[in-house]
Amino acid sequence: MKMRKELWFGFAIMALVVAGAVGMLLGVETITRGHLGLLMLSLVVVAIMLGFPTAFTLMGMGMIFTWLAYDRDITRTLDLMVQAAYKSMANDVLIAIPLFVFMGYLVERANLIEKLFKSLHLAMARVPGSLAVATLITCAIFATATGIVGAVVTLMGLLALPAMLRAGYSTPMSAGAITAGGCLGILIPPSVLLILYGATAGVSVVQLYAGAFFPGIMLAGLYVMYVILMAKLKPAWAPPLSAEERQVVLPAMTAALPAETQQYAPVRLLDALKGKRNAQVPTAYVLRQLALVVMPGLLFVLLATSSWRAVTAVSVEEAYGIQPIGFNDNSPRVASEFGLQEPPVEGGLQEPPQESTGLQEPPGADSGALAEPPGAEPAQSAPSAVGEPPGSTAGATPQAATQPAPTWWWVMFGVLGAATALFYLFLSFARLEIFKMLLGSFFPLLTLIMAVLGSIVFGLATPTEAAAMGAFGGFVLAAAYKRLSMDVVRESVYLTAKTSAMVCWLFVGSAIFSAAFALLGGQELIEQWVLSMNLSKIEFMVLSQVVIFLLGWPLEWTEIIVIFMPIFIPLLSHFGVDPLFFGLLVALNLQTAFLSPPVAMSAFYLKGVAPPHVTLNQIFLGMLPFMGIQVLAIVLLYVWPQIGLWLPQLLYK
């Protein structure tokens, strides 16, 4: 039987790994425990590429080599396995994984993706490559709501791929947009990858979510810009939609309005309320349409005013200075740490005479430091209450101060204001219908996403609590769209249990493997080797990202996180690399695990639902430009790290 090219490629990689491991062992004079650890690492990679289950391969190799390290003491080996497994499963952060996965499966079954894709497709009908752009945006939104790459790629393969092929789009362009857009759920929160990385590296998942928000938007924006650019340069790859495909069917009530009222919606709806020209259209219907027209502007005004007060108001905290016993008024510690003020002369405690304390006033010192200078006004030079600053009035309440609004506020609301103005400037009845379609598909998902991520990022809830709220929101969405049934719940629970078991067994296997690897001294050997190269910080970052990029070819992101991140993390402190920033780079980089052959799982997901004439080579060809965009995004994030670090520093400084 003729082997596929992918299998030959996999066997070639395995042969290189085994040959490298054997050559390394033969090339050293004395084989130490550290070399056994490297041999274990090589054998794990080979076994995974041969198709053995990752979690049980990690556990099995870890136990075998731990048994060898403990001189064949089975009791100590089992003790280490139990302790490593218990330490992993006692991590509270992992509880969020099944809840987020359950939310994703419920949202998937709410059947929102079809409505979302259709409404975005119509809203962007005049944009070059509109179908591919709508596909990428739909994938980004749906991946954010679900975080399940396979589900997003499969559903968009069933929905968007036939539509793009019918419109004359090239097969590689269509396949690349679907596979790249579906993988955005790896990076954009709520991401299971970020939870695993945070648990592995000891980094706050909340800060990882805040940091990954803008890099995710940047990557999606680069994808969209590439599609628009190629649609301009190569119109045959993404031809514009015909007038029939851009047509929006108006409801019967709207079509019943007089002909002259079917143009500019806001003014014509107001005109429709006058006289009896539209007697066949109920006034209540016209008022409902006007309410929808007013909604975006009203929402913009509410957001602007409420956020303006939040970013400009500065509350002056009242200071209460209570002098501790045993400290002198003039003590620098008292002045700097406790914020004490000199008590009033009249009715307060007096400084004891200098004769009794033995203190002498230094020459030229201000005598007012110990006693009120003669002729001074007590009400102006001393506070009238304990802790009240000089010159203030007793009983006065602190006044709220203001500060200028930050630059990011002006930029954000400038963009929102421009979008709102454009909405009203070109609001026809056709666009009003598209807006209503978005209200029924896009905004429910946006509300769920903002409720979950907002509660995490702004510290209102832990990731686990927010995941529970998201699971409940998935129930509500499924019920609101009449898709909630016992079969849907049963299937969602089964798939959640299956996915969660896989992730949790991986984490347990990773803990056992890492414990064995550290016990054998493999980590120490790798650290010595890396440090002996005298790399600079930039060289180390480039080397680590290249290694992760290459590992993404034969391995999945879960395997890279649980096997290789424990090797990289201890090296970060030697080079002064922030683990949060490193995690964002890794999250961007690890999307290559789903976009690079031969183990590009998103390609196989798409191939499973694609028409027969769509070949795997065409899908791989469409992935390559998006892999190049990922590399560009990594470079941009490294050159301007504030893309990922600005929001965590703003919220958690």
Q: How far is CA 441 from CA 303, 406, 489, in A?
A: 22, 33, 21
Q: Which of 106-115, 323-332, 476-485 has the lowest mean pLDDT?
A: 323-332
The whole-number pLDDT of residue 391 equals 46
Closest CA to 102 of 630, 490, 618: 490
CA atoms within 13 A on the CB side of 348: 15
Which among 294, 238, 253, 607 is positioned nearest to 435, based on CA atoms? 294
pTM, two decimals, is 0.72
Q: How confident is the model at residue 157 (pLDDT cuts 50, 70, 90)?
A: confident
Query: How sure is the predictor about 229, in pLDDT bands with cuts at 50, 70 and 90?
Result: very high
Query: Quick one: DSSP state of residue 264?
Result: B
Determine the average pLDDT of the residues in 454-477. 83
* Count of other CB atoms within 10 angstroms of residue 316: 10
The contacts of residue 98 (CB under 8 Å, 6+ apart) are 496, 497, 499, 500
Check pLDDT > 70 for residue 416: yes
Task: Name the DSSP letter for residue 327.
Answer: -
What is the total residue count of the chain? 653
Query: What mean pLDDT do residues 493-520 have?
Result: 81
Share of the chain above pLDDT 70, in %: 78
- pLDDT, mean over the chain: 76
Distance CA 257, CA 267 (A): 13
Residue type, 547: V
DSSP string, 368-398: GGTSPPTT--HHHHS-SSTTPPTTPPTTPPP
The H or E element that residue 402 is part of is: strand 401-402
Where would I find the H helices in 426-485? 429-457, 463-480
Residues 11-55: pLDDT tens digits? 555 555 555 544 544 444 445 666 777 777 778 777 777 777 777
Judge contact between 265 and 426, C-beta under 8 A. no
- Which of 176-180, 346-350, 450-454 has the highest mean predicted lDDT (pLDDT)? 176-180
How much is the pLDDT for 228? 92
What are 601-625's pLDDT values in tens digits? 788 888 888 888 888 888 888 888 9
So what's the pLDDT on residue 315? 56
Short-list 230, 213, 255, CA closest to 454: 213
Partners of residue 264 on adjacent β-strands: 428
